[in-house]
Amino acid sequence: MCKTFPKDFLWGGATAANQCEGAWNEDGKGESTADHMTAGSLTAPRITTRGINPNYYYPSHTAIDLYHHYKEDIALFGEMGFKSYRMSIGWSRIFPNGDDAAANRKGLDFYRSLFEECRKYGIEPVVTLSHYELPYHLAREYGGWVNRKLIDFFAKYCEVVFKEFKGLVKYWLTFNEINVLTMPFGVAMAGGVMGDEEEVAFSIGDLSKIKDEPQMRYQALHHQFVASARAVLLAHEIDPENKVGCMIAGMAAYPYTCNPDDILAAQKRMAEGNYLCGDVQVRGEYPAFSRRLFKKLGVELQFTEGDKALLKQGHVDFYSFSYYASGCVSTDAEVLKAGGNMMMGAKNPYLEASEWGWTIDAKGLRYYLNEIYGRYGVPLMVVENGLGANDTVEPDGAIHDPYRIAYLKEHVIQMAEAIEDGVELLGYTMWGCIDLISASTGEMKKRYGFIYVDKDNDGEGTLARSRKDSFHWYKKVIASNGADLD
């Protein structure tokens, strides 16, 4: 395989603040919504608690303690030859309550130092402004993103970080996987709508128990669209060098059969799952099909004057997305269900699944890249992709992860194919480049990293970092710009 990626292709890795930083209440950081989520597993739910219950374990509180290890971790990224590092800023590290008058200097200093460290190794930061968390106070006192006031709080936070990190950061992503708000479970996770109960259980293995409130989640989504557009305009105004992307959970949906009903259902899934958000954020307007969808769901969006123009002006510069798995859409109720990355679908008989039931489909990445580029014609970036697996540490300390290398290799090959197809691809940041807390289950043992972190599901371990076989493999991939995949 000797296909060539663009010369300045942004090879790298990705993490999110609440899944790796720890130091949840240090140096003035406020509580975030993620700090209220306990650990679970594929079968046991994560529980969101109103207070912090001393009998529970909350993995974000310590995570892999990147807050105190970032120099060591970035040095390892540098050793692999990373050209980019996608990470997120914990909003509550900058504005502890979200509605504070002034920003927390220590929070800004931490990220400044982290970005400077990246620059030392020639690593370009790609910064997510909101990755599945918001200051807890905004969730509790304002009701989360259902409340329009959050747009102003978010804009203020963005303005502060754009000014502070001008010249250090050029690539920004607004909301991580914004399209999860098109699904019932998204309202809590991405919308910060917590409800009044003392405890709420959330299980990726059983999404059927989640109460759906379409009006709430689409209104929250609309507010995030407007907030994202405001962020784009601010970013461009503060530094014309800034490039801002949307971030969408890539849901490649295949029809299960050639039954026209399945074809139409899959087309609908692609549209409602991906294009609704893509159209608003890239084209600056709601797609025609949204009218029928909202009517069916009884959703009446509260638009204010100015929203329409703002969405149009604040369209993003590029489209970034996560891609883990594809799903099949069937109109036959009997067809077996298989879990995907936060989406359900029928089991694809041609594909294998990961230990956590996520269908492995590298060609789906090529399919998705072509679909999206064909629709929007803007540069794309794959900002998450990877395999969550249970790794074993050998007696000599080695970690052999051929399954991860095989997964990544196939996805890199399909990215190269898509580039050959004509897709403009800016970069690839593999998810969880260093082991971190799983977002869906709160586990530590669902590992994605090139770098192993000695910590278990109960929070025990030395936090020592070590290189897996895939570390050395990825180093070669980057050094050869995607030519050497063996």
Residues designated catalytic? 177, 384
**Is residue 19 within 8 Å of 453, Cβ to Cβ?**
no
Cα(65)–Cα(247) distance, integer angstroms: 25
Rounded to a whole number of angstroms, the CA Rg of the chain reads 21
Residues near 336 by Cβ (< 8 Å), separated by ≥ 6? 346, 347
x-or-dash string of contact with ligand BG6, 119-148, rule CB under 6 A? -------------x----------------
CA atoms within 13 A on the CB side of 102: 4
Find the shortest distance in angstroms from Cβ 129 to ligand BG6: 14
Find the shortest distance in angstroms from Cβ 186 to ligand BG6: 11
Size of the site for ligand BG6 (CB under 6 A): 17
177 binds ligand BG6 (CB under 6 A): yes
341 binds ligand BG6 (CB under 6 A): yes
Find the shortest distance in angstroms from Cβ 176 to ligand BG6: 5
**Please, what is the angle between helix 214-238 and helix 149-164, to 10°?**
30
**Which residue sits closest to ligand BG6, CB atoms considered?**
440
Cα(363)–Cα(176) distance, integer angstroms: 23
The one-letter amino acid at 41: S
Find the shortest distance in angstroms from Cβ 431 to ligand BG6: 5
CB nearer to ligand BG6: pick between 143 and 327: 327
CB nearer to ligand BG6: pick between 93 and 446: 446
Cα(436)–Cα(453) distance, integer angstroms: 8
16 binds ligand BG6 (CB under 6 A): yes
Please choose, out of 189-197, 264-272, 431-439, 452-460, the segment that lies near ligand BG6 by the rule CB under 6 A.
431-439
Q: Show the CA angle centred on residue 108, arms to residues 102 and 110, nearest 5°.
A: 145
Say how many C-beta atoms besides its own lie within 10 A of residue 394's C-beta.
Answer: 8
DSSP helix, strand, coil percent of the chain (3-state; round to 5): 40, 15, 45
Please choose, out of 41-49, 105-113, 271-279, 434-442, the segment that lies near ligand BG6 by the rule CB under 6 A.
434-442
CB nearer to ligand BG6: pick between 19 and 104: 19
- Interior/surface letters 418-427, b for 16+ CB within 10 angstroms, e for the rest: bbeeebebbb
The residues in 188-207 that bind ligand BG6, with binding defined as CB under 6 A, are none
Find the shortest distance in angstroms from Cβ 93 to ligand BG6: 17
CB nearer to ligand BG6: pick between 136 and 431: 431
Cα(293)–Cα(309) distance, integer angstroms: 22
Cα(42)–Cα(182) distance, integer angstroms: 22
Please choose, out of 49-57, 304-312, 390-398, 436-444, the segment that lies near ligand BG6 by the rule CB under 6 A.
436-444
**Is residue 173 within 8 Å of 247, Cβ to Cβ?**
yes
CB nearer to ligand BG6: pick between 47 and 311: 47
Please choose, out of 1-9, 147-155, 157-165, 435-443, the segment that lies near ligand BG6 by the rule CB under 6 A.
435-443
Using CB under 6 A, pick the residue from 354, 438, 457, 470 that binds ligand BG6. Answer: 438
Cα(401)–Cα(306) distance, integer angstroms: 52
Using CB under 6 A, pick the residue from 96, 186, 388, 427 that binds ligand BG6. Answer: 388
Outline where DSSP puts E strands in 236-379. 243-249, 252-255, 318-322, 326-329, 337-339, 344-346
Find the shortest distance in angstroms from Cβ 247 to ligand BG6: 8
Please choose, out of 26-34, 41-49, 213-221, 432-440, the segment that lies near ligand BG6 by the rule CB under 6 A.
432-440
Sheet holding 252-255: strands in order across?
252-255, 326-329, 344-346, 337-339
Outline where DSSP puts E strands in 27-164. 46-49, 84-88, 124-130
Longest pairwise C-alpha distance within the chain = 65
Q: Show the CA angle centred on residue 385, arms to residues 212 and 116, nearest 5°.
A: 105
Find the shortest distance in angstroms from Cβ 16 to ligand BG6: 5
Please choose, out of 74-82, 190-198, 412-420, 438-446, the segment that lies near ligand BG6 by the rule CB under 6 A.
438-446
DSSP 8-state class, residue 122:
T
Q: Is 167 left (phi over 0), alpha (psi -120 to 50) or beta?
A: left
CB nearer to ligand BG6: pick between 299 and 387: 387
Tell me how far apart the terminal alpha carbons of the chain are, to the nearest angstrom.
Answer: 9
Find the shortest distance in angstroms from Cβ 167 to ligand BG6: 27
x-or-dash string of contact with ligand BG6, 78-117, rule CB under 6 A? ----------------------------------------
Find the shortest distance in angstroms from Cβ 258 to ligand BG6: 30
x-or-dash string of contact with ligand BG6, 225-254, rule CB under 6 A? ------------------------x-----
Binding site residues, ligand BG6, CB under 6 A: 16, 19, 132, 176-177, 249, 322, 341-342, 384, 388, 431, 438-441, 446
